[in-house]
Structure 1
Amino acid sequence: MSEAHRIPAYRVTLDGRDITGNIKPRLISLSITEARGEEADQLDIDIDDHDGAMELPARGVVLRVALGWKGQALVDKGTFTVDEVQYQYSPGRITLRARSADLTSPLRTRNERSFHGKAIGHIVATVAKDHGLQPVVGRAFANEKIAHIDQTNESDVAFLNRIGKRYDAVATVKDGRLLFLPVARGETASGQETPLTVIALHANAGDNARFQMADRNSYTGVSAQWQGKGETKRRTVVLGAKGKAKRLKSLYGSEKDAMDAARAEWERIQRGAATFDMELVFGRPELSPQGRLQVPDLKKPLDGYVWLIKRLVHKLGDNGLTTSIEGETADAGDDAEPSDDAGLAEPEDDEADEEDDGAQGGSDDEMPE
């Protein structure tokens, strides 16, 4: 079947019962938004109810959605818990909004605790046990120890993603697993390393794309401060070069913690050197956040870029099945190395006074040097 004659297909189940046939003649639109990190995937369904024959579903019911094309295997997009139901009397429309079934309220309840000298694998396992989830931690992080970190009036998912920011990783929940995996390196949901597969995305007539290139040299590096237990002096590590380094506001408990945080931020800066948005007239529901793409039909040098997917919106409606993509450059650059004086420089007193002391391991907000 030619691209122009492809027919979208989908399946929707409600608490395990297939309701596709019930909603098919009434479906106005269906969209799924996927993003990396603590933001829950979101499902929106608009249903025609001009005759008032449709029942309003209860909040808390679980929907499972699969998308694709007729004649091909559908792609399972996961389960979603309905948390919002809207009804519009005229013209008669029901709107359901549901979010990832695994990222519901318990993980978002604020909590307080501290970890001292514990490995990331231990921290993730502790949180996973609290919520009856299976922990899956990237091999690079499993035995990585954090000198000290506090969770203060902060949800568990936000806490783990704050740790993730320090190590350029993301935490999320999929199919009963609490995942803590690297942003830029290939690992599966089992925590195993996998070759970094790059999908070649060939543009079709009607596709649209927008690219933006930032000044890769707007920052020359990243600096972070650390102070050992019982010490009175703060020390600074620098990744890259000092000239115009971005300074992290947090105070870290060891040189290694500070260096890990600086390296993660430097890699984020490098990836942000170019970003893109793309609208595909023929949707690709098999794409997911953290996937890697190349678009060889673009002009040079964009045709050679490898892109890392940050966010996706798959939409089924009047225009068929479409996919919107947001991404950034996948290559963090080869220059993410410590400077010669990394870990050795002590800040001037006035620089130290400018910093917000805070708790060691606190928020990773940044400020320019």
Structure 2
Amino acid sequence: MPTGYTPIFQIFKDKENITGRFQDRTTSIRVDSTSGNGDQNTCAITLDDRDWRIARPKVGDYLEIHLGYEEVGLAYMGTFEIDEVVFEGWPKQISIHGNSQGNNSLLKTQQIKAFDGKTVGEILKEIGGKAGLDVDVDAELGGIKIPYRNMVTSPSHLINQLEMLMGGVATINNGKLSFTKQDGGTSASGINIPIVVLTADHLAKFRVKHSNKTDYGKTRASYRDPETGIRKWVEAATGVAALPDAAQSAIETMFTIGREFASKEEAERASKSQMAALDRGLGEGECDLVYGDPWIMGQQRLLIAGTRDGVDGSYVVDTAIHVYQKQGGLKSHLTFQPPMDGGEAYQRMFREATENNDLSGFLIPEPGEVTGGVIQRLPDGRIRGGA
């Protein structure tokens, strides 16, 4: 397999390939791919403006960015709306910052709005429609009815509330608002997303931390009984099969959500979502990859294997930072947490897939290979593991 790659990039403006204008001028390109929770994808480009001959980039322009390798191909990183341009010296350079296409439009549609008896899908389609976004919502989450929800601050704030309430992930890219299940393994359109398997050969540097600082064994949320007017409570228990020894004393510790919810069903969903978020707090990690892998994005499911107990495990990428540097090549830094159940879900899935001789749900780069190389060498073009 390859032991070296030649980093390349492509940039389009209004569907026109303008890479040639950037080729000799680009000092760095950075793309941050996130997993929702109120954050959206961003880009930052630094250009060498040594002779002041670069055509002026303008706020409001749209740039489509691709990163990859000459030997493998390019990964689509997203389309970004420029929201900031900085000219500076010395040395003379131009810095460009952009947000996911559609995010700036969403931020501008501030309004006060009440949603009464609407489904999640209906709420998101109304919000997205006013911002000029296409909307794609997971069918199961989209069909859940919300008794009442008031938007008094911003659409982004309401979307973030729905993420926390539903255990969902909202992403905005290429003019589309997508709402999917947290760690669900499928796109909003129902397409299966494979699990990427990384070994020690793929990790240039790593750090995994286990903690019991935020451990709770249970969560509870309240609602007002519509018949009696009495405030009632529902509970959710940890989904972690075995808490660390130091955390066993916390198994009966209750986390209480302060706000009151509009129905029993809404309180139950909120309690389960909060418990899952707390379970994820049992561990966190970060790593630099040997070769930058721009095919790995936020919310990607990972299985780290072949290292040691405490590092090997199931994870979901919180943020994938990909940086192209003219002098330093292409680098990737990942931050990640355990999946929603806080357990070893992907290890079990991998063992079962291996026993059944069907690794179609996994992408398995060889030592010295990036994920794009796996996709490239699949004979039938489907995304699956193995050659």
User: Judging changes above 3 Å, is the alpha-carbon distance between structure 1 residues 175 and 105 closer, same or farther for their aligned structure 2 residues?
Assistant: closer
User: Judging changes above 3 Å, is the alpha-carbon distance between structure 1 residues 183 and 296 closer, same or farther for their aligned structure 2 residues?
Assistant: same
User: Is residue 21 from structure 1 mapped to residue 20 from structure 2 by the alignment?
Assistant: yes
Aligned residues: 329
Kept in 1: contact 2:202–2:291 (CA 8 A): no
Query: 1:313 corresponds to which residue?
Result: 321
User: Judging changes above 3 Å, is the alpha-carbon distance between structure 1 residues 251 and 205 closer, same or farther for their aligned structure 2 residues?
Assistant: closer
User: Judging changes above 3 Å, is the alpha-carbon distance between structure 1 residues 206 and 136 closer, same or farther for their aligned structure 2 residues?
Assistant: closer
User: Is residue 138 from structure 1 mapped to residue 105 from structure 2 by the alignment?
Assistant: no
Kept in 2: contact 1:161–1:169 (CA 8 A): no
Query: 2:82 corresponds to which residue?
Result: 82
Kept in 2: contact 1:157–1:171 (CA 8 A): no
Give SS of 1:21's match: helix
Separation of aligned partners in 2, 1:128 and 1:246 = 33
Kept in 1: contact 2:217–2:253 (CA 8 A): yes
Q: CA deviation at 1:301?
A: 3.8
User: Is residue 95 from structure 1 mapped to residue 103 from structure 2 by the alignment?
Assistant: no
Q: CA deviation at 1:176?
A: 3.1
Separation of aligned partners in 1, 2:143 and 2:86 = 47
Query: 2:376 corresponds to which residue?
Result: none
User: Is residue 213 from structure 1 mapped to residue 221 from structure 2 by the alignment?
Assistant: no
Separation of aligned partners in 1, 2:228 and 2:322 = 53
Separation of aligned partners in 2, 1:286 and 1:206 = 16
Separation of aligned partners in 2, 1:72 and 1:273 = 37
Separation of aligned partners in 2, 1:105 and 1:137 = 19
Q: CA deviation at 1:333?
A: 4.6
- Give the aligned residue type for 1:103: N
Query: 1:272 corresponds to which residue?
Result: 281
Structure 1 residues 222-231 or 136-145, which shifts more? 222-231
Superposed CA offset, 1:108-159 (max 9, x none): 532211122222122122223323333222122122112222111x211221
- Give the aligned residue type for 1:326: T
Superposed CA offset, 1:245-266 (max 9, x none): 1111110111111111000011
**Structure 1 gap segments, 5+ residues each:** 335-369
User: Judging changes above 3 Å, is the alpha-carbon distance between structure 1 residues 177 and 22 closer, same or farther for their aligned structure 2 residues?
Assistant: closer
Q: CA deviation at 1:302?
A: 2.4
- Give the aligned residue type for 1:240: A
Separation of aligned partners in 1, 2:186 and 2:2 = 34
User: Judging changes above 3 Å, is the alpha-carbon distance between structure 1 residues 255 and 306 closer, same or farther for their aligned structure 2 residues?
Assistant: same
Q: CA deviation at 1:321?
A: 0.3
Matches within 5 A, 1:19-58: 19-37=18-36, 38-58=38-58
Query: 1:338 corresponds to which residue?
Result: none
- Give the aligned residue type for 2:194: T
Give SS of 1:249's match: strand
- Give the aligned residue type for 2:283: A
Query: 2:309 corresponds to which residue?
Result: 300
Separation of aligned partners in 1, 2:213 and 2:331 = 32
Q: Identity across aligned pairs (percent)?
A: 23
CA RMSD of aligned residues (A): 2.1
User: Is residue 166 from structure 1 mapped to residue 165 from structure 2 by the alignment?
Assistant: yes
Query: 1:123 corresponds to which residue?
Result: 123
Q: CA deviation at 1:216?
A: 8.2
Separation of aligned partners in 2, 1:156 and 1:28 = 35
Using the size of structure 1 for normalisation, the TM-score is 0.83
Q: CA deviation at 1:55?
A: 2.7
User: Judging changes above 3 Å, is the alpha-carbon distance between structure 1 residues 141 and 331 closer, same or farther for their aligned structure 2 residues?
Assistant: closer
- Give the aligned residue type for 2:256: R
Q: CA deviation at 1:193?
A: 5.8
Kept in 2: contact 1:281–1:321 (CA 8 A): no
- Give the aligned residue type for 1:113: K
Separation of aligned partners in 2, 1:296 and 1:333 = 17
User: Is residue 228 from structure 1 mapped to residue 225 from structure 2 by the alignment?
Assistant: yes
